[in-house]
A and B are shown apart, each in its own frame.
Chain A
């Protein structure tokens, strides 16, 4: 060793051998580059749901929790003098409320919360309120968007309810066909805990014929719903998705009647919105209505009757600027009734519709669209009485819409739509029609994501969160 070290070449050779060895070790131990693993969120049942039926007076309220993984839980229906408690999933609760009932809060915990759905449907055969008017009971939230006819076209009532323990500070922004409406009375509505209030939108903005409405809270949360009574009929405006660059308005039924599209661009940029209809046999841009220009802050309408009437459809709106969209469905007959659908999310985690009926006169349609990839869903009916029929499997080819006429209990049933694993995104809506003398009654409800599941992201404690992410 010593002689090796003392020999100049010996030392060099030794060092080179050692370096080569180290290189070899480093080379051999070098792992193959791996792409960073994207943590898949975990599905977890929702443990607590609270929802508010805005104006149940004279309407039938339905509440249901579909059968699920099970466990203990309770649903509490806060019906003023006659509260009701349920603890068995799969059972339908239905009750027609006397007129003038206050908003009802439906609150569920544990197993009963997972999938809880509630809706109110009012049926009037005469008078100003003639028609079918249904609305999914709403979750209290910090923001809500509606699009539909304006106060100049009829009577628009905004129902606000604060069921939280903290006051809510509500602000309204109204967008009309001519642009955003500057209104004094649009902000500073304060709802104390437990307070509910109905705002006539005429007092906020009397002139718009069409409108988009944004209800937001500075603090607290509020349950908001809009009831529109126009000469064409009465119905509730469903909450639409928040402004987005791609909006899918599903649930256009295959029956006859006019269809009118509402598109609003609430930002400060003009939007050019491409319109495509996803129909039974494919997805098309409508002739001469390929796109619509929406000035910043305003609402545009477009009659889609010639392209869409008579076939079940979903309308896909794409734009560089975030937009909201909705659609008016008008029934046939000498006295028309109206229904509204609106932009909705895909029901990846399933959807539940609380109320559907099927009698000789009443037809319930389920319209399912797969605007992107082919989709497979299972449709299960939960009858109010009797055994549940076998689930129906529905396959929707890519860029197609399918309509299913729901045949179930005459007393009413709920519908559970569950996409199968590997299915493409599905959008949908449920439309109920009733043939009565003088004209058809209609109401619609876009499918909302069921409150069954939520995606729990993978969380890790990391002190480096205090730093902004670094990208080289």
Chain B
């Protein structure tokens, strides 16, 4: 015989309590006893309980009591029912069982007499078919796993056949049926867990003690989960339920796991929590981040509490082997991580339901656009996107054109030439260089990218430089999404942009600075549009993003900043009055680079000529660039196609002016184009390659033209004469990218950039250089003698921008090479020069001069290179002192980057669904 005592615990839950009590009392197998506990409700819940069970069967508890305490209080007072199997049926005030629930639960208990705890299948209170739980388990991260998909409807798919019961690790306390002797044996629910996870802890102990825990799928209860969904205020604790849930889940895990497993779990959860904190910060959910940290923190800083809990569970831990198989599989953790990333991409923020009582997700706003993530047919949808197709096509063109650069490597050869320093070393070398002295900031960007590419700098540089064409095509396609609606026009725009003479020139000359700016330029345009045109918050974010990317671009090619600043000032003048906040946002966008690059920009101000330089080796360009080349956006130099290739573009762009569409943007676009060409003229006359200003001009021109493209489509539909005209225009328009691609492939991207550049430092010198010793590298050229000093290894990118040695050193080098004798060699040795290397073919004059100097001795001389060694004492050059200021600045810069990243990162797009919708502020709510 069974004797069932229903224990209904109420806490401000009168909204649901009436239905709950009605359902408890209407069971087909009536309860034997009913007891109500009122945890200090203020909404008349106590009275409702009294009406249902009689005034004497209601226990009054203080408002701060937890759920477990309430049940304990009842059980303590409950007299034994001799000769019967006693059951405790624990019911939340927001949980209404189905009329047959108790009957089915007891039926299962009869069938499986070894069962200690049973629970019904839980469905949602409002959405009556929505499944909440059919028993739960726990992941090793402490996450409560229901094993259900989000928003799964109950169609019997989780019902167990044939008997309708499932062995589970735990069932919810909502509707939990407990054998009283089991309760007594285990000491009941842990009162230290006032809310959340008490069920898991209790069932874990029951399992470990050898009792079965069953979810009875036939029995149904509807649960409102009022506490965890914050439909009511929790009185047992002041903390947010999310934090409580997270803290208790960690606590339960730590308390019940065996010692070593616990230590491992602790380490793993600490790391995991830190990662999640960062993700939350990036998603701008600081509250989540704080909760996450607070939860793990409160577990870690209270070892005594944990120790006591573990001591109490000492006996039950022996049954860990019985519990372990019930954990959720480890693969689930990876799936959750993937879901988190997906959520972030789809704009939902990385919020997962780890802290929630169950796995109901609010329906996120679907991202209707062509974001490349999706749930079904990822590949199919990806390759259907014209942007991706364009990217693949441009990649194929780039591979065909750069075949020699990609495949023509010789062992020991480096990618280098033109403006590109032979790419030697790895991410760690770059970091060491950047943190060791005042290095140009683009080194940090490259170091970060190399870290992503597994520490291989050559890979990062190859992607940026050799992948410049496809990457800029992709960025142009994606970035123009917001202002060019017509897709074929965008494809044309992106293809033309990616194959501009600037792009092929960038690759041929190894101008990595211009390559980065070229890739980022469409993004600048898109962000700038957002800054000027978007609503407040997105505009502010765009401003931070623009500032950050501008800092990156400026670090690679400082001239970019000058240009953007001019355009920004013009924009501030024209838009400042129209929209509020535009001025401030522009200030953010233009101020961020100044802040992030401060000390480096200060050195440029001291030496303004460097504004014209870009990352890498200085490489001048002919100042005699033809005016028609400038007008056709052709910067000249290696890799630039003949002028006629882009002439069609200019014709089409002028023709587009006749189609009156978006006059204002077209005017702005042309304005940018003309200012760009003008700037390019100035820059070019200063013997600088005008790639960056011409890229600006091209962006303006292309956007203006692409905006007119829908008219072409209309003409095509009109037929006849207009159709022919449209066809002609399209032909001319597409001729530019097609011709550019064809010529590029035919020329094999030929230029100074090569794949087989040998290390400028002879191996002997590299092996025998002590720290602080350098190798003087001399080359003879038409215009005299050029030299540089290498320091013990093949220089990494950015090292070439070290401070010059000065005229005295230069005189000594010239003297050494002239063979005039004297103290030149000693002067060089005093500056740390230990070797003199002359790449072959060695000029006989220099060879004689070096051979005749008693202060240096020949080491080797072949037709490939000659190497001499100082015979006298070499004073190692002082290692550049890593001053405290530099260290502080690095920390500051790192912190600034993180802050700007957080401010710029896209936030969760739907507003957080935590605000209780029906509740007017200030009023308190009901029930556990």
**Chain A interface residues (CB < 8 Å from chain B):** 5-6, 8-9, 11-12, 15-16, 18-19, 22-23, 25-27, 29-33, 36-39, 41, 44-50, 109, 113, 139-143, 164-166, 217, 219-221, 242, 454-470, 472
Contacts and interface: CB of A to CB of B under 8 A. Distances in A.
B613 to A, nearest CB: 11
Given A45-B820, A48-B822, A221 B782 contact: no
A26 B617 contact: no
Interface residues of B, number: 79
A222 B784 CA distance: 30
B654 A12 contact: yes
Given A463-B618, A466-B422, A5 B667 contact: yes
Contacts of A467: 416-418, 422, 617, 752, 757, 760
Tell me which of B422, B617, B788, B854 has the highest count of chain A C-beta atoms within 10 A of its own C-beta: B854
5 contacts: A48-B821, A50-B821, A109-B822, A219-B858, A457-B780
A381 B785 CA distance: 37
A468 B800 CA distance: 15
Given A11-B667, A454-B820, A459 B785 contact: yes
Nearest to A244: B844
A222 to B, nearest CB: 11
Chain B CB within 10 A, most for which of A11, A32, A140, A462:
A462
B338 to A, nearest CB: 45
B486 interface: no
A334 B623 CA distance: 75
A26 B788 CA distance: 36
Interface in B758-795: 758, 760, 777-788, 790, 795
Contacts of A26: 625, 627, 630-631, 677, 681
B804 A461 contact: yes
A459 B786 contact: yes
A9 to B, nearest CB: 8
A221 B854 contact: yes
A436 B619 CA distance: 71
A459 B814 contact: yes
A47 B795 contact: no
A23 B667 contact: no
A465 B760 contact: yes
A470 B418 contact: yes
B442 interface: no
B237 interface: no
Interface stretch (B400-408, B471-479, B657-665): B657-665
A443 B658 CA distance: 94
Contacts of A16: 654
Given A31-B685, A142-B851, A466 B784 contact: no
Choose among A5, A27, A464 the residue with the greatest number of B CB atoms under 10 Å from its CB.
A464
B800 A466 contact: yes
Nearest to A458: B784
A220 B856 CA distance: 9
B674 to A, nearest CB: 5
Given A457-B784, A459-B787, A470-B638, 7 more contacts: A11-B666, A26-B627, A44-B818, A47-B821, A48-B823, A221-B852, A466-B788
Given A5-B664, A8-B657, A219-B857, A143 B788 contact: no
Given A455-B818, A465-B778, A30 B417 contact: no
Nearest to B682: A29
B674 A463 contact: no
A406 B852 CA distance: 32
A30 B624 contact: yes
B778 A466 contact: no
A458 B783 contact: yes
B654 A164 contact: no
A458 B814 contact: yes
Interface in B637-692: 638, 654, 657-660, 663-664, 666-667, 670, 674, 677-678, 681, 685
Contacts of B666: 11
B627 A466 contact: no
Given A47-B822, A142-B858, A465-B779, A19 B674 contact: yes
Contacts of A465: 760, 777-779, 786-788
A149 to B, nearest CB: 27
B718 interface: no
Given A45-B820, A219-B859, A455-B818, A22 B813 contact: no
B531 to A, nearest CB: 23
Which one of A50, A113, A456 has the greatest number of beta carbons of chain B within 10 Å? A456
A471 to B, nearest CB: 9
A25 B681 contact: yes
Interface string B555-592: 00000000000000000000000000000000000000
B857 A41 contact: no
A46 B824 CA distance: 11
A461 B788 contact: yes
Contacts of B777: 465-466
A36 B674 contact: no
B810 A469 contact: no
Contacts of A242: 844
Given A8-B658, A22-B631, A461 B783 contact: no
Contacts of B422: 466-467
Contacts of B664: 5
B839 interface: yes
Interface string B836-879: 00010000100011011010011100000000000100000000
B766 to A, nearest CB: 13
Interface in B614-636: 617-619, 623-628, 630-631
Contact of B784 (A31, A39, A164, A217): A39
Contacts of A454: 818-820, 849
A467 B681 CA distance: 29
B40 interface: no
B817 interface: yes
A45 B819 CA distance: 10
Contacts of A41: 784, 818
A469 B783 contact: no
A38 B782 contact: yes
B386 interface: no
A44 B678 CA distance: 47
B815 interface: yes
A468 B818 contact: no
B823 to A, nearest CB: 7
B174 interface: no
B378 interface: no
A31 B751 CA distance: 25
Nearest to B799: A463
B818 A457 contact: yes
Contacts of B785: 457-460
B681 A18 contact: no
Which of B626, B790, B805, B820 has its CB near the most chain A CB atoms (within 10 A)?
B820
Contacts of A44: 815, 818, 820
A409 B781 CA distance: 48
A220 B859 CA distance: 9
Contact of B814 (A33, A109, A139, A457): A457
Nearest to B781: A469
B630 A22 contact: yes
A460 B814 CA distance: 9
A161 to B, nearest CB: 13
Contacts of A142: 851, 858
B670 to A, nearest CB: 5
Contacts of A23: 627-628, 631
Contacts of A6: 660, 663
Contact of A460 (B625, B681, B786, B815): B786
Given A22-B681, A25-B681, A459-B785, A466 B760 contact: yes
Contacts of B786: 459-462, 464-465
Contacts of B908: none
A140 B819 CA distance: 13
A44 B816 CA distance: 12
A15 B654 contact: yes
